[in-house]
Amino acid sequence: MSRSEVLLTKRTANNRRVPILRQIFPDAKYIHLVRDGRAVAYSLLRVAWWGEHVLYWAGKTPKQMIAAGFNPLELAARNWVEEMQSLEQGIALIQSSQLLEVRYDELLYDPYGQLHRILDFMEVTTQKDTAFWDIVESLHLAPKLEAWIRSWKEVELDVVHSLQGDTLRRWRFEGMVGCEILAVSTQFFQ
């Protein structure tokens, strides 16, 4: 048994377990790392475990659903929406002083500022720990043009936006819904 005061877990299944985690750990702090659903869907289609992962909202794996005729991109896009809905219900129960939202794109744009913000929120001091900051430096975190922007055709974007549009807007990705993201993003990263 650990006697640590800080436990960090990154497991998306915990998105739907927030109510029970809150009961077990009433004083816990939560960091919500939110990423654009299109990037999440794109990524899911490329990770080895995705096909065999049971989708809690469907009770089946993507592999089973694709065999039954479902579109893989639709499944990945919908999964983000379902996860975000579960998470929204859970974080509604958390006091604002116990919750920190960190946007993935902001973390890449300003890793040191965002990590200081996270560490301050968690009341963890590593500012003088050069080994920690050396590791952060070695990661070469920087904004990049998301692969889905370069890869998806308009028809694929339309499929994803039809499923994720409302959730993307609710989580302030609204300026990016539609093909205009291609021009804006391309200019930003040139």
pLDDT digits (tens, 9 = 90+) for 32-90: 999 999 999 999 999 999 999 999 999 999 999 999 999 999 999 999 999 999 999 99
CATH number of the domain within which 109 lies: 3.40.50.300
49 within some domain? yes
pTM for this predicted structure: 0.84
- Give the distance, in angstroms, between the CA of residue 34 and the centroid of all CA atoms in the same chain: 4
Tokens 């998306």 belong to 12
Domain limits at 29? 12-188
- Number of domains making up the chain: 1
2 within some domain? no
The CA angle 91-92-93, to the nearest 5 degrees, is 85
